[in-house]
Amino acid sequence: EQTLAQSSKLAVLGEMSAAVSHELNQPLAAMKTYLAGARLIIQRKRPEEALASFQRIDDLIDRMGAITRQLKSYARKGSDAFEPFDVRDAVSSALAMMEPQLKARRVAISRTIPDHRAMILGDRLRLEQVIINLLRNALDATRGVKDPAVGILLAAGQTVSLTVRDNGPGIEDLDALFEPFYTTKQPGDGVGLGLAISSNIVTELGGRLTARNGSEGGAVFELVLPALDAPAAAAE
């Protein structure tokens, strides 16, 4: 007979396996793009130029390793993997990870980032996953739009807040949004886990993730996290 503790451990295992496989899709897609790029470069007989693509692929393999290692740290469940980091760096890495998708589309990305540090305590890789999920959703939402635009706004003060907005059609069902497996996308395009995973991560970081529709249309996602530095210290 299965004890309650065992079944809740299994539930946690199921949740984290789903999250890990979901998050591996992004680096896998990016690797495929860089590999195709390297193949093209070699066919054009400029093998030295392929080295940069190989480096990217190497970095992505490291990242995938870090994502699967999370299974272990999840199992310990706790904040012992937390370290201070600058959210500006997480935004840059997330955008770098999205580079292949961004290059494939003509989307105007605007970035408003403070020129002082935006420090929080947490797991940087996990926050990057949240940002990637929000950006992927924004890219999906603007697919049929005439002049697709995505805005990223980072602000640091008493809290660190990150807003991702797009000029897509807006959110259909605000109540169901964060539920696991809620999706309006075609099978194969989405499983409805991105926001459920993201809101779990943000809660773990002691913050919250909210969504609304913008006054001029489009979706607005806001992530608020406890700041590590007091505003005076952050000003440097």
Ligand X SMILES: Nc1ncnc2c1ncn2[C@@H]1O[C@H](COP(=O)(O)OP(=O)(O)OP(=O)(O)O)[C@@H](O)[C@H]1O
d(CA 114, CA 112): 7
Using CB under 6 A as the binding rule, the residues of this chain from 3 to 42 that contact ligand X are 22
**d(Cα 212, Cα 183) in Å, to the nearest integer?**
17
Q: Kindly tell me which residue out of 122, 194, 207, 218 binds Mg ion, with binding defined by CB under 5 A.
A: 194
Residue 168 interacting partner from Mg ion, ligand X, none (CB closer than 5 to 8 Å by kind): ligand X
Question: Within positions 139 to 168, which residues make up the interface with ligand X, using CB under 6 A?
Answer: 141, 166, 168
E strands, 58-124, in order: 83-86, 108-112, 119-122
Dihedrals phi, psi of 108, to nearest 5 degrees: -80, 120
State the nearest-atom distance from the C-beta of 31 to ligand X, in Å. Answer: 18
51 touches 8 (CB < 8 A) = no
* Stretch 169-198 residues interacting with ligand X (CB under 6 A): 170-172, 177, 182-185, 190-196
How far apart are alpha carbons 39 and 45 in whole angstroms? 10
Query: Binding residue for Mg ion (CB under 5 A) from 137, 142, 198, 199?
Result: 137
Q: Which of these ranges, 6-14, 92-100, 131-139, 228-236, lies near Mg ion under the rule CB under 5 A?
A: 131-139
124-141 and 194-204 helices cross at what angle (nearest 10)? 150
Scanning 77-185, the segments in alpha helix (DSSP H) are 87-97, 99-104, 124-141
79 binds ligand X (CB under 6 A): no
| Nearest residue (beta carbon) to Mg ion | 194
* Interacting residue ranges for ligand X, rule: CB under 6 A: 22, 133, 137-138, 141, 166, 168, 170-172, 177, 182-185, 190-196, 219
